[in-house]
Amino acid sequence: MPGKLSAVPALLAVAFLAACSSTPDDDKTATWSPNRLYAEAKDELNSGGYEKAIPLFEKLEGRAAGTPLAQQAQLERAYAHYKAGDQAQAHATLDRFIKLHPSSPALDYALYLKGVINFNDNLGVFSFISPQDLSERDQKAAKESFESFRDLVARFPDSRYTPDARARMTYIVNSLAQYEVHVARYYYSRGAYVAAINRSQTALADYRDVPALEEALFILMRSYDALGMPELRDDTRRVLEKNYPASSYLTGSGGQRQSPWWKFW
């Protein structure tokens, strides 16, 4: 699994740039060849000068319109927007790329980048100072990220980005299930036992083989007990014992939340 997102894969040799002509402009890039414009933009991108790289890629995209180089510039610009923290512009650029270039050899990368943007957006910019996990945040970004990764995996099973996309999809599914359990836990702590039962049952019905289901059964069992429904409580306990015979919830030590299972990114 890649340690970090790699740069945009090259679509063509730099030598192609010299064959393109420059478009007159009223700034210092007016006399630059496409070769130099691309090199300057890449230098800014690689050195972290994302705000400077973006307009250079925009100029290059216009001057090389209708060529593979324009596609390259568009992807580079989307990546620069992403690294600059402008997810909205990154998404808009990628959506335009996907719509205009459905046969591009870099389409797998575009889908992957779109998924990664939503994935990281869902993690939250303050995750480094907060113990809050992904399951406790809004899930819209996670669901959109999953869709992008699923599209990538279905259309490009042999892509270099597919293994990482699959791993992130597993993470997202776990997150979505844990979100339901997080809400169920909240309701239970507030004495809203019927609501806790409903959210626990949603997690159990919608997901399979994810870590969160163990706690979902525990919350369900406790909620039935709180409502004075011993038969349903005992039935749920039997299911918990059968599926998780070594569960800490059965020994009375399951009330303490352990270190998050999800922290591997």
Residues near 197 by beta carbon (within 8 Å), at least 6 away in sequence: 184, 220, 223, 224
Structure tokens at 48: 């972290």
Q: What is the CA radius of gyration of the chain?
A: 24
Instruction: Tell me the pTM.
Output: 0.73
pLDDT digits (tens, 9 = 90+) for 159-170: 999 999 999 999
Cα gap 73→41, rounded to integer Å: 9
Asked if residues 87 and 117 have their Cβ atoms less than 8 Å apart, the reply is: yes
| pLDDT-derived band at 25, boundaries 50, 70, 90 | very low
What pLDDT was estimated at residue 34?
79
| pLDDT-derived band at 10, boundaries 50, 70, 90 | low
What pLDDT was estimated at residue 6?
55
What pLDDT was estimated at residue 5?
63
Asked if residues 45 and 37 have their Cβ atoms less than 8 Å apart, the reply is: no
| pLDDT-derived band at 263, boundaries 50, 70, 90 | very low
Residue 262 has pLDDT above 70, yes or no: no
Length of the chain: 265
pLDDT digits (tens, 9 = 90+) for 205-228: 999 989 999 999 999 999 999 999
What pLDDT was estimated at residue 13?
42
Instruction: Return the ∠ at Cα 167 (arms to 108 and 117), rounded to 5°.
Output: 55
pLDDT digits (tens, 9 = 90+) for 110-157: 999 999 998 876 544 334 333 444 444 557 888 899 999 999 999 999
| pLDDT-derived band at 189, boundaries 50, 70, 90 | very high
pLDDT digits (tens, 9 = 90+) for 73-101: 999 999 999 999 999 999 999 999 999 99
Cα gap 208→136, rounded to integer Å: 20
